[in-house]
């Protein structure tokens, strides 16, 4: 939407250190009407708020505790990245901008996720547990989803959904990079998803699309797009998304709502509006001594609907904490806690999921999934002998996987139930626990991509490499992060190995799995995906 508001240039200099001697100065233009609104809201506090824009923006990374040990990683990379803890997230750290962790091979190995520090509060507040069913409704590019997966410790079901196809692809790539096995990535509108999952999830994140006022320091597009009409449109859209999300939460379940804006219509007022339509929901107050330093209570007086409980929702202010603007509300749905899905239910749903077979490539997945019954008939005609329990993967195909498993892995990994594996064209996937029936929905990733079934062998997927630890494979090589070997590997080059080595080898950087290579005749043939190669 075009911003028709006049803008006022405010001399805010953002200093980006390029080197010891050069700096770049940029001027941030904040919309005049936004400033007037903020002045009305903040009164005397406005001066400090404005002055905070003169500071450099804080940059954060969040360690992936599924791939490493938080304590060890923090110590190991303390100096390299100049780490300093983020108070509201145990896995989160500020880093020095010049250290550029996003350019390190550790980033490609999913050792950490680069994330705006304030955004790390959302999953900390929701506190998901291993084994739960969790939905991230507005998930791209994946900051909250990858954090949720980490806290779930690989157990349970994570559905990461994103409405925009291109953003959903990036989400799927980030899920893969972080080595997440138990996530399904869908590309749906909340309206399409909601009727399929009535009262299904234990926890839901609604990190809503918003007017982005809290990101003005770093996001020029948000500044240009801002207008009171845009705020209103966002507030209305958030109510629609919240209504759908609410219907997917089980009684007793918890939902966290977050925005990166200061606009009361999208924050305090937005929550009050939702609660007025949904008396079955209430705000969960966190005990005062559990609210981390830097997180402020929200302002109930900023809602036109009387709702004193809004003081138990939260804000992160750029002039009070090291992070951009954020709003958070933790809600609970009244009722008795539901039971977790049992194994029978899982097996049945895995068998249903196995009916999706038929499409040729992963990219076809979303489209082909809608045509499952036609495909099923074709398969029946072909008269394939299916193992009663193998749900879409026949005995020979299962044998290829098992051969790879025996040859390459120390012991069978993930779920041992073969019904949890499905074949999609030539692509073999491992479904998460408690996989629901997703037929008819656009699915980008139905779980962990295990590999491609070729004529008489299985070629392991890059996603599988990233999801494995070196102690889970028979052969691995490990090189230091700044080594020539890692540069060679990321560039697609061949490494050398002991001539007696043969078979798939997991290439690791500082102990984090990075990709596959195949050992033969003293060489490690590079299997790092061509599209990800970095030439330095």
Ligand X SMILES: C[S@@+](CC[C@H](N)C(=O)[O-])C[C@H]1O[C@@H](n2cnc3c(N)ncnc32)[C@H](O)[C@@H]1O
Binding residue numbers for S-adenosyl-L-methionine? 138-144, 162, 207
Among 105, 163, 328, 467, binds ligand X (CB under 6 A): 163
Which of residues 66 and 469 has its CB atom nearest to ligand X in the complex? 66
Q: How far is the CB of 363 from ligand X (least distance, A)?
A: 20
Instruction: Quote the CA–CA distance of 462 and 445 in Å, as a whole number.
Output: 14
Q: Which two tokens stand for residue 73?
A: 């990683």
Chain centroid to CA 377: how far?
36
Q: Would strands 281-283 and 249-259 be described as parallel, antiparallel, or unpaired?
A: unpaired
**Which range binds ligand X by CB under 6 A, 13-21, 158-166, 317-325, 408-416?**
158-166
Residue 142 found at the interface with ligand X (CB under 6 A): yes
Element (H, E) at 108: helix 105-108
Contact 187, 168 (CB under 8 A): yes
**Any catalytic annotation for residue 497?**
no
DSSP 393-417: --HHHHHHHHHHHHHHBSS--S---
Residues 103-132 that bind ligand X (CB under 6 A): 119
Which of residues 194 and 272 has its CB atom nearest to ligand X in the complex? 194
Residues 80-99 that bind ligand X (CB under 6 A): none
Residue 188 found at the interface with ligand X (CB under 6 A): no
Residue 141 found at the interface with ligand X (CB under 6 A): yes
Instruction: Quote the CA–CA distance of 145 and 139 in Å, as a whole number.
Output: 6
Query: How many CA atoms are closer than 13 Å to the CA of 146, on its beta-carbon side?
Result: 31
Among 30, 111, 126, 139, binds ligand X (CB under 6 A): 139
**Which range binds ligand X by CB under 6 A, 7-15, 156-164, 271-279, 374-382?**
156-164
Contact 14, 52 (CB under 8 A): no
Q: How far is the CB of 230 from ligand X (least distance, A)?
A: 13
Among 60, 143, 253, 511, binds ligand X (CB under 6 A): 143
Cα separations in angstroms, 343 against 149, 199, 350, 435, 439: 21, 19, 10, 11, 20
Residues 10-39 that bind ligand X (CB under 6 A): none
DSSP 357-373: TT-SSGGGHHHHHTTHH
Q: How many CB atoms lie within 10 A of CB 202?
A: 21
Nearest to residue 177, comparing CAs of 113, 89, 260, 250? Answer: 113
Cβ contacts of 446 within 8 Å, gap of 6 or more? 184, 353, 356, 365, 422, 424, 429, 431, 435, 438
> Which residues carry a binding-site annotation?
138-144, 162, 207
**Which range binds ligand X by CB under 6 A, 55-63, 84-92, 134-142, 327-335?**
134-142
Tell me the number of residues near ligand X by CB under 6 A: 18
Which of residues 89 and 423 has its CB atom nearest to ligand X in the complex? 89
Q: How far is the CB of 211 from ligand X (least distance, A)?
A: 11
What's the first-to-final CA gap in the chain, in angstroms? 40
Among 108, 132, 150, 162, binds ligand X (CB under 6 A): 162
Q: How far is the CB of 323 from ligand X (least distance, A)?
A: 14
DSSP 156-222: SEEEEE-SSHHHHHHHHHHHHHTT--SEEEE---HHHHGGGSTT-EEEEEEE-----GGGTTT-HHH
Instruction: Quote the CA–CA distance of 10 and 438 in Å, as a whole number.
Output: 50
Which of residues 162 and 273 has its CB atom nearest to ligand X in the complex? 162
Which of residues 88 and 346 has its CB atom nearest to ligand X in the complex? 88
Which of residues 91 and 162 has its CB atom nearest to ligand X in the complex? 162
Print the binding letters for residues 191-230 with ligand X: x by CB under 6 A, - otherwise.
----------------x-x---------------------
Q: How far is the CB of 157 from ligand X (least distance, A)?
A: 18
**Which range binds ligand X by CB under 6 A, 142-150, 348-356, 357-365, 411-419?**
142-150
Residues 234-273 that bind ligand X (CB under 6 A): 237, 241
Q: How far is the CB of 340 from ligand X (least distance, A)?
A: 25
Q: How many CB atoms lie within 10 A of CB 207?
A: 23
Among 47, 100, 129, 164, binds ligand X (CB under 6 A): 164
Catalytic hit among 89, 210, 234, 260: 260
**Which range binds ligand X by CB under 6 A, 86-94, 97-105, 136-144, 271-279?**
136-144
Among 30, 33, 61, 138, binds ligand X (CB under 6 A): 138
Residue whose CB is nearest to ligand X in the complex, by number? 143
Contact 167, 140 (CB under 8 A): yes
**Which range binds ligand X by CB under 6 A, 16-24, 163-171, 338-346, 488-496?**
163-171
Phi, psi of 90, deg, nearest 5: -65, -25
Q: How far is the CB of 116 from ligand X (least distance, A)?
A: 9
Cα separations in angstroms, 15 against 35, 61, 295, 405, 486: 22, 20, 26, 52, 32
Which of residues 140 and 158 has its CB atom nearest to ligand X in the complex? 140
Contact 100, 503 (CB under 8 A): no
**Chain residues in the site for ligand X (CB under 6 A):** 119, 138-144, 162-164, 167, 189-190, 207, 209, 237, 241
Residues acting as catalytic residues: 260
């Amino acid at each position: 939407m075009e911003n028709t508001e006049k803008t006022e240039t405010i001399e805010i200099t953002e200093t980006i250190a390029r080197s010891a001697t050069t700096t770049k100065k940029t001027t941030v233009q904040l919309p005049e009407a936004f400033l007037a609104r903020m002045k009305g809201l903040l009164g005397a506090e406005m001066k400090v708020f404005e002055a905070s824009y003169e500071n450099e923006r804080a940059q954060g990374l969040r360690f992936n505790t599924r791939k490493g040990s938080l304590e060890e990683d923090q110590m190991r990379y303390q100096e390299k990245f100049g780490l300093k803890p983020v108070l509201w997230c145990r896995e989160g750290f500020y880093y020095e901008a010049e250290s550029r962790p996003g350019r390190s091979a550790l980033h490609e190995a999913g050792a950490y996720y680069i994330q705006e520090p304030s955004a790390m509060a959302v999953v900390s507040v929701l506190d998901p547990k291993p084994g739960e069913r969790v939905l991230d409704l507005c998930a791209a590019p994946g900051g909250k989803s990858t954090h949720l997966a980490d806290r779930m410790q690989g157990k349970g079901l994570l559905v990461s959904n994103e409405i925009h196809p291109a953003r959903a692809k990036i989400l799927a790539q980030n899920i893969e990079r972080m080595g997440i096995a138990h996530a399904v990535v869908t590309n749906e509108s909340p309206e399409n998803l909601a009727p399929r999952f009535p009262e299904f999830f234990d926890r839901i994140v609604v990190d809503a699309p918003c007017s982005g006022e809290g990101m003005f320091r770093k996001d020029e597009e948000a500044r240009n797009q801002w207008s009171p009409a845009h705020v209103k449109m966002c507030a209305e859209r958030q109510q629609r998304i919240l209504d759908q999300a609410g219907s997917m939460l089980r009684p007793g379940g918890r939902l966290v709502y977050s925005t990166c804006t200061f606009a009361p219509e999208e924050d305090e007022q937005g929550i009050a509006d939702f609660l007025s339509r949904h008396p079955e929901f209430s705000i969960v107050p966190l005990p005062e001594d559990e609210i981390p330093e830097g997180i402020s209570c929200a302002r109930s007086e900023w809602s036109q609907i009387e709702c004193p409980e809004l003081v138990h929702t939260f804000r992160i202010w750029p002039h009070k904490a090291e992070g951009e603007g954020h709003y958070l509300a933790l809600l609970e749905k009244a009722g008795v806690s539901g039971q977790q899905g049992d194994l029978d239910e899982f097996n049945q749903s895995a068998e249903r999921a196995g009916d999706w077979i038929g499409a040729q490539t992963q990219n076809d997945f979303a489209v082909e999934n809608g045509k499952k019954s036609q495909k099923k008939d074709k398969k029946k005609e072909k008269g394939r002998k299916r193992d009663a329990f193998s749900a879409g993967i026949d005995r020979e195909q299962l044998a290829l996987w098992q051969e790879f498993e025996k040859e390459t892995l120390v012991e069978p990994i993930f779920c041992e139930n073969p019904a949890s594996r499905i074949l999609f064209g030539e692509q073999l996937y491992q479904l998460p626990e408690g996989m629901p029936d997703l037929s008819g929905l656009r699915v980008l990733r139905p779980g962990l991509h295990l590999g491609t079934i070729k004529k008489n062998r299985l070629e392991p997927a890059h996603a599988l490499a990233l999801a494995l630890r070196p102690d889970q494979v028979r052969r691995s090589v490990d090189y230091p992060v700044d080594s020539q070997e890692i540069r060679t590997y990321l560039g697609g080059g061949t490494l050398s190995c002991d001539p007696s080595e043969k078979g798939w080898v997991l290439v690791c950087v500082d102990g984090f799995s990075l990709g596959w290579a195949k050992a033969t005749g003293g060489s490690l043939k590079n299997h790092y995906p061509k599209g990800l190669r970095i030439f330095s």
